[in-house]
Amino acid sequence: MQQYNFDEIVNRRGTSCAKVDMLRKLYGKEDLLPLWVADMDFRTPDFIVEALKKRCDHAIFGYTFADDAYYESIGNWLHYKYGWDTRREWITYIPGIVKGIAFAVKCFTQPGDKVIIQPPVYHPFRIVPENLHREVVYNPLQLVNGRYEMDFAQLEALIDDKCKMLILCSPHNPGGVVWSKETLIRLADLCARHGILVLSDEIHAEMAYSGNRHHPFSTVSDAAASCSITFMAPSKTFNIAGIVASYAIVPDDTLRHKFYSYLHAIELSDGTIFAYIATTAAYTYGAEWLQQMREYVIDNVHFVEEYLARHIPQIKPYPPQASFLLWLDCKELGLSQKDLVDLFVNKAGLALNDGSMFGPGGEGYMRLNVGCPRSVLEEAMNNLGNAVKQL
């Protein structure tokens, strides 16, 4: 069995890499450890790189289409990972999940309609509908005994005739919550009863840690399948976000017909050569790499948890069940959000995501990306420890 090396430092500077080359623009300086956007610093695995190189060697990049191997690789992967038996016609390429959400918002809602989101949550869930002149309404997650839960009573009270859509993050970013089947069934019942379409963004599904089973929303009940569109992608897991290889799955005939006719009409369901090749390679050869990468990431999470508990107990990481993102509760430091960001950026030299960007419930938090070599995290934690001592 090949042992992959996740300790390797790959210099990404000067590759138009958003995580590194946009530091000055976003944080005002370049000499920061980049631990923000959900993009890992691990080399994309060879089986993907080799598949892309092989196609490059052919040296003609004409019009292309999604071939059988592409659909079969997705179908096999969904069966292997989640026991989900899909049909080929349920699946379509989309040029990014965020764009997929935007298309669905346009296709299924009108300006002035309400879209429900569950903050603190991935910020484009708010930004996209607002930019499209939909009203975003909040069903904030509740912390119960230190764990995020959905607030069904508040959701039921919130819903009115204008509510047409709920955008679900499953697993949840930034908390890394893997929602239980019972929670998803309850959400599906409620949304189906009120005619609310659920967009289930499952981009972090493949990163559910062992012992935390991810349930694709559509599979939890007939109600869920009848009222939802699922979005998935190999892009986070295999570190190929720049290739833009997302896809949608819609089992319900009526929803699918409407959504896919819309995508087709505006020519948005055609992917690029490299998206098809990378997806097929990832899902055909990626199981072992994914297993090893996830174990490395979990060890990174444990490293940070232990470091913080020992040296900076005022910062408490939310215990993740998925993803390479760690949600740090920094409220005990007693700083304003501005001073908290200043501590990380200017005093510790670290570029994390400011928790307040994820909406209500994100104040006092910072989001740390641990998808990087351990040595980078060691340096980051030491910098943070020294900066907190100076407070």
Provide the binding-site residues for ligand PLP, judged by CB under 6 A: 38, 96-98, 122, 169, 173, 201, 203, 233, 235, 241, 246
Phi, psi dihedrals of residue 229, rounded to the nearest 5°: -125, 130
Given a contact cutoff of 8 angstroms between Cβ atoms, the answer to whether 196 and 165 are in contact is: yes
Quote the least distance from Cβ 96 to ligand PLP, whole Å.
3
CB 175, min distance to ligand PLP, A: 11
Output the smallest distance, CB 246 to ligand PLP, in A.
Answer: 4
Under 8 Å between Cβ of 40 and 371? yes
* DSSP codes, 340-368: HHHIIIIIT-EE-EEGGGG-TT-TTEEEE
Q: Which is nearer to ligand PLP, 207 or 387 (CB)?
A: 207
Tell me the closest approach of the beta carbon of residue 203 to ligand PLP, in angstroms. Answer: 4
Nearer residue to ligand PLP within complex by CB, 117 or 159: 117
313 contacts 358 by C-beta, under 8 angstroms: no
Q: Which is nearer to ligand PLP, 293 or 387 (CB)?
A: 293
Tell me the residue length of the chain.
391
Taking the least distance from each CB to ligand PLP, the nearer of 169 and 343 is 169
Q: How far is the CB of 351 from ligand PLP (least distance, A)?
A: 15
Smaller CB separation from ligand PLP, 38 or 282: 38
To ligand PLP, the closest distance from the beta carbon of 374 in angstroms equals 22
Measured CA to CA, the distance from residue 227 to residue 156 in angstroms comes to 17
Residue 170 or 221 having the CB closest to ligand PLP: 170
Residue with Cβ nearer ligand PLP (201 or 252): 201
**What does 214-230 look like in DSSP terms, one character per residue?**
---GGGS-HHHHHTEEE
Specify whether the CB–CB gap between 86 and 118 falls below 8 A.
Answer: no
* Strand ranges (E), 171-321: 197-201, 228-232, 246-249, 316-317
- Sheet with 114-117: list strands edge to edge: 91-94, 246-249, 228-232, 197-201, 163-169, 114-117, 135-138
CB of 128 to ligand PLP, least distance (A): 10
Q: What are φ and ψ of residue 344, in 5° steps?
A: -70, -50
- In the chain, the amino acid numbered 325 is L
